Structure 1
Amino acid sequence: MDILNRLAESIDYIEKYLDQPLKHEEIAKIAYCSKFHYQRMFYMLTGVTLADYIRKRRLTVAAQKLAASHSLKYGYNTPESFLRAFSRLHGISPSQAREKAGHSGHFRVYPFIFK
């Protein structure tokens, strides 16, 4: 289980510094392994490469921030107030509307918690 804890710490590091350049070597050091071993282990456990994970998480966070800025752009003080108003009017949430349009696109954080 220790390796999973170290992997979880490396994910936390990625999430914390997602808006900055990330070096795979530095991420691997957090998990106490080589870049090669870390990338293989990451792919084996997640089914996605480290580079893809970082890219997809960056795009997801950017989309979320963009959605928050849109709520302000259209006169709502918070994303929550926009969400409530949108849901009341359309009967579904903005994310459900995106999914219906075929563009959900959210890539979630891998938690690495096993029970």
Structure 2
Amino acid sequence: MQRFFKSIDFIEQHLYDKISVHEVAAASHYSTYHFSRIFKALVGDTPKEYLRKRRLTVAAKRLLGEDIGILELALECQFDSQEAFTRAFKGLFNITPAPVPQTKRSFQIAVQRPVQPAYTALSAKRAFHGAGNYYPPGHEAGGHSAAIRQRRF
């Protein structure tokens, strides 16, 4: 879990930087593929979705507490345009960012470090599926099921 928390810390330290999933995975010393699977199983979002939601929740908090323009905030949060930022903001909070400073509406801020990861033994097993040998139901270890073995061409 420490390696996983390193990735969360890396995201928090580089929240306003342009970062890729490869860089986050490298910070936790996992391959990108394996890291993405583990992250999705533990957090419930892909690393890219999590980063986007964190940026938007921090942006919402800044809109409530600071006098900052939407375009400036959109660019700081690594969105290509104000339109893309507004669309993503509305998709997450069901309100456009323009009226936020006037509404003083409270937003649910995404947790920076999950204290109790929402995962089960089954989701952890799925996340680590590629780490060892796996045989689907009906398949024997090291071979094919009887039905498949009978179909020889």
**TM-score by structure 1 length?**
0.62
1:86-113 Cα shifts (integer Å, max 9, x gaps): xxxxxxxxxxx736xxxx3432223356
The partner residue of 1:41 within 38, 59, 69 is: 38
Name the residue aligned to 1:83.
none
Measure the CA separation in 2 of the matches of 1:47 and 1:110: 14
> Which of 63, 67, 78 is the aligned partner of 1:66?
63
Question: Could you tell me which residue of structure 2 aligns to residue 84 of structure 1?
Answer: none
From the two aligned structures, give the one with the greater helix fraction: 1
Give the gaps of 5 or more residues in structure 1: 71-96
Whole-Å separation in 1 of the counterparts to 2:26 and 2:52: 20
Distance in 2 (alpha carbons) for counterparts of 1:113 and 1:55? 21
- Report the residue type matching 1:109 in the other structure: Q
One-letter amino acid matched to 1:30: A
Matched pairs, number? 81
Alpha-carbon distance, 1:51 to partner: 0.9
Matching residue's letter, 2:109: H
The aligned residue for residue 22 of structure 2 is: 25
Report Cα offsets for 1:56-80 as digits up to 9, x if no partner.
000011111111115xxxxxxxxxx
Distance 2:37 2:64 in 1: 34
1:15 to 12, 15, 18: 12
Structure 1 residues 30 and 111: CA distance shift in structure 2, 3 A:
same
Instruction: Encode CA deviations 1:4-51: one digit per residue, 9 max, x unaligned.
Output: 101101101100110010111111011111111100000011111111
- 2:110 aligns with 107
The aligned residue for residue 105 of structure 2 is 98
Q: What percent of counterpart residues are identical?
A: 36
